Structure 1
Amino acid sequence: MSLPESVSTRAEQLRAEIEQHNYRYYVLDLPSVPDSEYDRLFRELQQLESEYPELINADSPTQRVGRKPDTGFAEVAHEQPMLSLDNAFSEEDMAAFVRRLLDRLGLAADDKLDFACEPKLDGLAVSLMYEQGRLARAATRGDGYTGEDITLNVRTLKSVPLRLMGSGWPDRLEVRGEIYMPRAGFEQLNEQARAADEKIFVNPRNAAAGSLRQLDPAITARRPLEFCCYSTGVVEGGELPQTHAARLKQLNAWGLKINSEMRVVQGLEGCLEYYHALASKRDQLAYDIDGIVFKVDRLDLQAELGYVARAPRWAIAHKFPAQEEITRLKAVEFQVGRTGAITPVARLEPVFVGGVTVSNATLHNMDEIARLGVKAGDHVIVRRAGDVIPQIVQVVEDRRTGDETEVQIPRHCPICGSDVERTRLVKRGKGREQVSEGAIYRCVGRLSCRAQLTQALIHFVSRKAMDIDGLGEKSIEQLVERDLVKSPADLYRLQVSDFLTLEGFAQLSSENLFNSIAASRQVELARFIYALGIPEVGEGTARALAGKLGNLQRLREAEPLLLTWLPDIGLEVAHEIHNFMQDDHNRQVIDDLLAQGIQLQNEQGVAAELQGSISLEMLIERLDVPGVAKTGAQALAKYFKALEPMLAADESVLAEIPKLSKKAREGLIGCLNQPHWVATARALETQLLAFGMHWSCEPESPAAASAQPLQGQTWVLTGTLEQMTRDQAKERLLALGAKVSGSVSGKTHTVVAGPGAGSKLTKAEQLGVPVLDEAAFLVQLAEWESA
């Protein structure tokens, strides 16, 4: 069968379109179509190639994952050595580097050279050889002279074009760059490994290297790897621009990813400014970097400066302080948190890592200790990234002496002596509960444990909770130590004279604190809910509970299944909330606070959109009957029209219902034979009626549904606002129904940009997201809030 020209043309169109989408998504980070559209195009191309195998060629996007290599990786001799770089570790080293350049070029000390600057990605250096615009070979750096052929694996990376875009590329073009794993992908990969009880990777660089050296390209294809180019090697049969920065921009135009942080600066001052600017945002980057690479921008000057034995004279890597070091784990101690969680903390021999001296590191929990195989006395690798708490990532087993000791969880709380119990995990679904051991151990002492009481009070008075100004951690510790406060409610019993007994307090500061505590008696419902410290309930969830349920009493009574109809609350979180509110100790704490005069502001009825919103079909579906999905729930609701007749039904009645499967009938009969399930169903309907959410309830105020003009919109705040704080702006947006995000995406509705707005504003402009300055934002707020 001959190949129709229309089919061949369509296949080429699809390949070009798919590669363009790959370029926008993986190289420019500016996707132009949703994933579903990309998948549709990809499936269409696969279908054409399946029907007409003669269409398939090595450049097709469908051929990124090919056969396995017959043996290991073949050696590749680099036509031009892939040399390493000299390092600078201080500003003095950088100054000496620049002086050497000026001397060798015969320039004056105050002359300004242009430097191309870019982050030094912490990945694996590779070489890509393109011949006639097609990827012919990919190789690792190896020892700089000989590497390994990893072509089959590199072809799986969507940030590596199989065929260069545009035209004008040299006949042979060697592109050099770094293959790395972004932090988010690294965390996800390790989470999957933990779930499968497999070995986890120590860091993203280790993960990238291991992923590239898989003999099966299909495994590499599943790993979240990216390629970013930083230079060229062999160039034959064509011309490239004669500055480093322009050359990279040309590679970018041909479909290769370059680093968006790349800049050209002048002189030593420009280099140092760039170094400090990127160092300050290092931890906000999506990938690991270990320094900055500075290169003389002009290629003719690079040629004049030449090379030493192992490195170019015209480039240097200004390294950041090391983020990983080896030290000895002296001991493991256990701390008690706000919820009673017993957390192991590593006490280390002090070591300088990530720019600071570290003597403590987190060990998370006993499962993490078991996974690492760490013992007291071990030599360990400690990692610190920016402001992240230092953590132990690996044991150096070769240094063990035999004197190391196993780490044991204490049987009694190290603070109050109460029993320590291991938590249980309850997995719920289809009417069943599966119980397993959790990773957390807890002290059962509650507020009688000073550590739990102290942490609970610190959270209670914090800015986003009760916002009691002047009551810091040290003051709370003193109040607890002196038995002046044994629960949050005791704060409201304190007198000025009590504060005068504390270190650092005089008459005026004591009076101010007394007044601040008194003022906090009037508090928004959302803040109060957050202040209670309910497990899994952060600021956003507290706001959702307050805004949708309307008052504290409904929250105290709400059944778990009812809570799942609130936005962003799943079944596990719903059970955490319900269990907290039904606990006798917690109920006493809340009652005591209310008795001390806490007056909750903004209490109201159930949110308008929830009034009368839960249908019988939705109720049946939420009861999670085995075999009953949406279609079965629809059939049952249509037939019975009310809950009680369904609860009284038997097999003969259920057999009469159209479109109800045998599996659904059996599942429902099984539930109807369980008194607890029937009681849960009745209790849920009763509560829906009491809250006004039942299908038989009439909305109290239909017009109220429009009371939140920003419902469903996502806003982003960036830069410095002058008329209000960012937190105040966020509060007002949330009150109008908006979601406030920390990042800009295609789903962002509006960005509010004050002075100093940076990358978020740039991305908003690239994506065409509307941007308001503060003045326009205030005008809009006034209109919405007065409506």
Structure 2
Amino acid sequence: MSLEIQAKIEALTKELNEYNYQYYVLAESLISDFDFDQKLKELEALETQFPAYRDPNSPTLKVGGSISQGFQTVKHRWPMMSLGNTYNEQELKDFDHRVQKAIGQPVQYVVELKFDGLSISIQYLDGKLQQAVTRGDGIQGDDVTNNVKTIRSIPHQLKKGNYPDNFEIRGEIFMHKPAFLRLNNERLENAEQTYANPRNFASGTIKLQDSSEVAKRPLDCFLYFLYAEQRNKLFETHWQSIEAVKSWGFPVCEHSKVCQSIDEVVDFIHHWDTARHKLSYEIDGIVIKVNDFSQQEELGFTAKSPRWAISYKFKAEQAETQLKSISYQVGRTGAVTPVANLAPVLLAGTTVKRASLHNANEIARLDLHVGDFVFVEKGGEIIPKIIAANNLKRLANAAAFEYPTQCPECGHTLVREEGEAAHYCPNETGCKPQIVGKLQHFIGRKMMDIQGLGDETIEALYKNNLVSKISDLYYLNERLEALGNLERFGQKSIDNILNGIEQSKEKPFEKVLFSLGIRHIGETVAKKLAQHFKTIDAIKSASAADILAVQDIGIRIAESVHAYLHVPAHWEEIEKLKNVGLQFEIVEKEQVLEGENLLGKTFLISGVFTAYSREELTQLIESHGGKMISSISSKLNFLVAGDKMGPSKLAKAEKLQVPIISEQELLMMINP
């Protein structure tokens, strides 16, 4: 039974991580918001019950997606966290009950429309737009300042006002529906691929490298949250801050409201569930935030979302259409994904022609037959999903769809491992999508980050027989004449490619290990393996049981790593990469602390402080050896209390006899 649970957790983790990559990096959605959220909740429940099987790269621990090639990476001063969400009113009332219980006093909520666009954080210094950064993975994002400056509704310079010298404002970039339809029609006329919805169009636009092209597309933006040092001294509530932001000249949605109770919140939701169709832009729900900033501080955060906010998502719309055929796509790992090709049907304002079917189990569950009429829905009004076949309209003698036994790309016999939902093509050296996909993965920004190389360049190099495996990239300097003969490969481009390849040799071992594309090996797992074993040779010498003994490594990961490194062709490739200078050993760096006065002690910060921000206090504690924890328990050594600290935390600390110290007392501990 435990092996089945572990396999289920690993399968869900892999599936959801792939959906995240498609959504945040490729601006594509292969699954509805509702279905994604249900799968995520299922995974969270399993991980809670069986924590030993949680993958350190689990999507339940992630905030957003990833960062993109071609842009400078910027770390967020305040992490861009995601919101918890619900689709039913009872869970909303449960949220209200938790908030009321934690605060112990009346709570106001601010309700806002949940825009279906691209999250952005914009920094202003002395009233001037300084930098604009995408959500990215929540910790760091892409610097898209020049592109954001083309959005007319976003001010470059504020008029004189009472705003802070340095602040960040966050919001959503989107495209109005009429503009989306017009631009998509232009793409059709030019025989270009159309976008599925305005959100994808906005996301794809903001990631363009040429700002002059971005300026041609009519993006818009609403801003809805302010961050600044000592913000609580400027405003007591979120509503006050938003009213001020509006007065400074920022575009703020007019449809927000302060509610005195959860019943008022529900009434607001009911109104916009219908009225949203009259808006010129897409929304997929309502965001509910605790209004009082001190109460927000009291409630705090989980690992990935604030406890003082939640989003309510609207139910999906449905339509009926005919299933024309099923096609099959092969990914870089060899996984084969079925896609339903539909008779075009209008759904939630866009024309739907395709829907993801995920795997053979889904096709069997739906009992799909050739020519079936099917019900399609858009969860979160983004990507369509087949929810059922209309058996009353099934054609006489219609044959059931049979999953292919051969790879649609190379013809190799497909395999399906025990416990896996997907079918795989094992022909990794002769199947084009796998070869190209592995090369594209290797050069990616979070992997080897090879400047000068992109997905299209890899396609061109493969097409012209210049690369067919990773090591071939490091011998391109011997193929200069062939490179020069390729279309759009000028001397400058070639020099950039070769320089980028040479610089990649400095990437640390964990990046190289991640870049190899071993199944189930994400960025975090690669780092843990590198730190534990130190060298690739040590990992190869280890048994699957030895690998399994590494913290947070599951049996599926251990078996995958062990099997990969014992395939002769894989090890031969690694030896070639060693010979050209890639790092296959970890270089240890000694951690330097400013002091050790707090070494071994745990701290929790609550309230508003005078000399330092909460972020600065956290840095001080950690730089002197202390450790931050997120809740009051017997493991807590000190509670650092500021003004407006919630009564519930104070009471719990006193009950557990946790020492309560002031900001000044903490500073005295650091510098006695």
- In the superposition, the TM-score normalised over structure 2's length comes to 0.46
Report which structure shows greater RCO (CA 8 Å, sep ≥6). 2
Larger radius of gyration: 1
